[in-house]
Structure 1
């Protein structure tokens, strides 16, 4: 082996397989965990990952990355760089750690499921590296915020968040349970690695790393960069999987899985990344708007992939494109209004200069969302801060678990339908924010029925007392942990 070139032994080492003697192939790869039986066993032998790596190379690369990243953290940790960061950017960090750290670790379960129940030996080999990647991502994103505790105690939400029933966590947990914890190997390859990682998070991490460096956050930038290089590799498992499904006449099933998770990914991406890019990132460091980012990277990339693989764009594509102009703005307004319900300090991002930028990037923003911020600013200038807080909870979608929102003058729910959208299943009525969310639920209701949104829990008596104070306690937020305006309303008085 040492005398052979890499090309002479690589395929043999990663394609090691065997014929079962004591169990059937169906028993070794049960359909509920593998999801691969639409294609015969020999059909999976054509599975070939585009990003090839051996274990020796993998270990060498990971050690190098960890040595560099942890060394940088140790140096930066002794400086005052974090204290000097923009308040809005600090909120980007806190929101990211709380929402993403535990899902990164839980993703190792999904990768391990593909490593055990993927039908191709090459696939199982690649997924094994993916499981190691995700364990590393969980560990490093838990360790880095630990070093911030003396400067920002809420950094402990990197670990605490997923042990609470905070509304953001309910939404994120519902998404990732659907995506990889309660999924089979084939669905996971298409929904986690192809749709979510290749289409959304891989690009997001590239942008976040660049933004972090631009605002002077060397520690977070190095962390995200080291993770993104892993994502770029193991996210490639979806491409050969969808190719095999299509070659064997199962394009319709692959299309359904991708359409399902593309919408769910968009919803989560809009909440976490849309707010960060258009409101929390300092104005001077905004390289492009969230809409421009999606148009240049996500839409263009997926359009090319759909064409290359013979797939169609999701049936709701027109609604997705329309939402680029308003959805995350509406969510941002809601998150800022309900700021005590999150563990970071939402940045209003509504100063005169920021509003001019928003109007330039989103023509008509002032006539829709700007009017809301006019009222808020007026109340703050009068000293009536209480008028800017909510008195009750908004309606929540029973699929994405995110509040049902629409811009001023547009009926909540689907753009051309009454809202909220409703569907009755086994005697219970479920509410939805959009036609795609309703479609996902009604396509496989047994997968989602029974889950309670935060509002459902309030109405059913799970939250006591049934008021905002009771809700905050239920979500695990002490007074010191509750979010507040990132700049202490400075933007409203300029």
Structure 2
């Protein structure tokens, strides 16, 4: 018998919804899990996938990807490429693996929720592949850095970071919990696959893979390319979900996009912004972080949401202003509080690098250079105790990051305050306060690292006690300046006046 052509049976195999006889639909697909009460059940039958792939095809493709990426790793293992990379690039690897590896496993939970509670069979089928993707991404990004642990204890944070109370891990978990592990199927589709993956990570992996190839880290480049092809497929879950929700509840659709774009931007500025403009070797910087954002994310994301009938986020002026400032502020903070992160915090502040920053960001010198001058003077005078922290910074109740980004209207850091049920919450911006005010009960229970300090959860109540609370068991796990401030001595002697 001649087998049917693929196009003759594929649609039938994908659309396997049925009418329930013994139970009510809301019992099988409860609102808390689907999040679809505003959309008539019958409307979900129009959900159409973009990537049409069968299970057989999926397994064959994934086997080929794994064969290729593991072959490259094996072939280059004896070359000891990791020892030939710059301090800054090794910092990128450590920060990436620690922030992302177990986060991929968490994303598998969000995909699994859609695979069970997505409101159409084709959606559930795509989410099943997405769940397998995220499990693969977690496994491969734990396996690759494992071989380096014997040489450098900080690589162990690929597995350890998400299991600690380190402040960056708290921020990442808070974001991912909000985005997908504590969200309905609809919210996950729009926040994770449409906003985060389509708007940020899919393009980030493309850019980082190219940068890795430039610096000679061929193993990491192949790893990222392999992951990106998965992201490109399952990130398409969000678009058809958004189109249907937009017809029946446009306000909710707009809110989900606005909220998660902002939250994604903040963590993106921390990880990718610092990596591109400070850790990547100067000779390998293809473009600045701002140029990357404008070319690959800002323009394309705006076009994408407008194509779906949404407006650009109401805070877009502040976002565009922060392209010039947010990651510079965060890098200054990470450098100063470097013992609280698990990677070496290269300053990226040699005279040549500083000249490059001034060219790419015309306001950098007047806004941020003066702060680095203070650090330089302290190094030059031998007062190294002044380039290390003595306490913890004020942290935003929403993004869980230090409050350090300036407001576009004043050019100054403008913390916001709000009292809810007797407790005062601090916010880095009016956007984060707006998010809190929309869903206060969702966020009121979150504890920042400073909350934990004030409430006596950190003992002894000192910086050393905080470091132990964060999971830093050995000094070699803590971030340091790999140059020990030698970069500052390359500058002419600065006056303390």
Determine the C-alpha separation between the residues in 2 that align with 1:170 and 1:303: 29
> Which position in structure 1 is the counterpart of 2:142?
142
> Which position in structure 2 is the counterpart of 1:459?
454
RMSD: 1.5
Matched, 1:441 2:440: no
Are the counterparts in 2 of residues 142 and 159 from structure 1 also a CA contact under 8 Å? yes
Are the counterparts in 2 of residues 77 and 147 from structure 1 also a CA contact under 8 Å? no
Determine the C-alpha separation between the residues in 1 that align with 2:484 and 2:168: 23
> Which position in structure 2 is the counterpart of 1:91?
91
> Which position in structure 1 is the counterpart of 2:480?
484
DSSP-derived class of the 1:431 partner: strand
- Select between 448-457 and 334-343 the one with higher mean Cα deviation: 448-457
Q: Once the two structures are superposed, what CA deviation does each residue of 1:345-389 show, in whole Å capped at 9, x if it has no partner? A: 011101111011100100021111111111211221222211101
- Please give the residue correspondences for 1:14-25 in structure 2 after superposition, counting only pairs within 5 Å: 14-25=14-25
> Which position in structure 2 is the counterpart of 1:102?
102
> Which position in structure 1 is the counterpart of 2:329?
330
> Which position in structure 1 is the counterpart of 2:240?
240
DSSP-derived class of the 1:78 partner: helix
Q: CA deviation at 1:406?
A: 3.6
Q: CA deviation at 1:19?
A: 1.3
Q: CA deviation at 1:483?
A: 0.4
Runs of 4+ in structure 1 displaced over 6 angstroms? none
Are the counterparts in 2 of residues 83 and 151 from structure 1 also a CA contact under 8 Å? no
Q: CA deviation at 1:151?
A: 2.5
Q: CA deviation at 1:39?
A: 0.9
Are the counterparts in 2 of residues 142 and 158 from structure 1 also a CA contact under 8 Å? yes
- Select between 60-69 and 414-423 the one with higher mean Cα deviation: 414-423
Determine the C-alpha separation between the residues in 1 that align with 2:190 and 2:349: 39
DSSP-derived class of the 2:471 partner: coil
Are the counterparts in 1 of residues 36 and 186 from structure 2 also a CA contact under 8 Å? yes
Determine the C-alpha separation between the residues in 2 that align with 1:406 and 1:172: 18
For structure 1, list consecutive stretches of 5 or more residues without a partner in the other structure: none
Q: CA deviation at 1:2?
A: 6.3
Are the counterparts in 1 of residues 108 and 130 from structure 2 also a CA contact under 8 Å? yes
Matched, 1:366 2:362: no
Matched, 1:394 2:389: no
> Which position in structure 2 is the counterpart of 1:280?
279
Determine the C-alpha separation between the residues in 2 that align with 1:131 and 1:365: 42
DSSP-derived class of the 1:313 partner: coil
> Which position in structure 1 is the counterpart of 2:419?
424
> Which position in structure 1 is the counterpart of 2:301?
302
The 1:251–1:117 alpha-carbon spacing in structure 2 relative to 1, beyond 3 Å, is same
DSSP-derived class of the 2:477 partner: coil
The 1:358–1:58 alpha-carbon spacing in structure 2 relative to 1, beyond 3 Å, is same
Are the counterparts in 1 of residues 191 and 257 from structure 2 also a CA contact under 8 Å? yes
Determine the C-alpha separation between the residues in 2 that align with 1:461 and 1:159: 27
For structure 2, list consecutive stretches of 5 or more residues without a partner in the other structure: 491-497
> Which position in structure 2 is the counterpart of 1:196?
196
DSSP-derived class of the 2:476 partner: coil
> Which position in structure 2 is the counterpart of 1:354?
353
> Which position in structure 2 is the counterpart of 1:468?
463
Report the count of equivalent residues: 489
Determine the C-alpha separation between the residues in 1 that align with 2:231 and 2:488: 40
Q: Once the two structures are superposed, what CA deviation does each residue of 1:35-87 show, in whole Å capped at 9, x if it has no partner? A: 01211111011111111111111001100000111111112222121100010
DSSP-derived class of the 2:426 partner: strand
Are the counterparts in 2 of residues 397 and 431 from structure 1 also a CA contact under 8 Å? yes
Determine the C-alpha separation between the residues in 1 that align with 2:104 and 2:364: 35
DSSP-derived class of the 1:104 partner: helix
Matched, 1:50 2:46: no
Determine the C-alpha separation between the residues in 2 that align with 1:287 and 1:49: 35
> Which position in structure 1 is the counterpart of 2:170?
170
> Which position in structure 2 is the counterpart of 1:12?
12
Determine the C-alpha separation between the residues in 1 that align with 2:430 and 2:298: 20
Give the TM-score taking structure 1 as reference length: 0.97
The 1:266–1:415 alpha-carbon spacing in structure 2 relative to 1, beyond 3 Å, is farther
Q: CA deviation at 1:489?
A: 2.3
Q: Once the two structures are superposed, what CA deviation does each residue of 1:400-430 show, in whole Å capped at 9, x if it has no partner? A: 00000045xx79xx85898421111111111
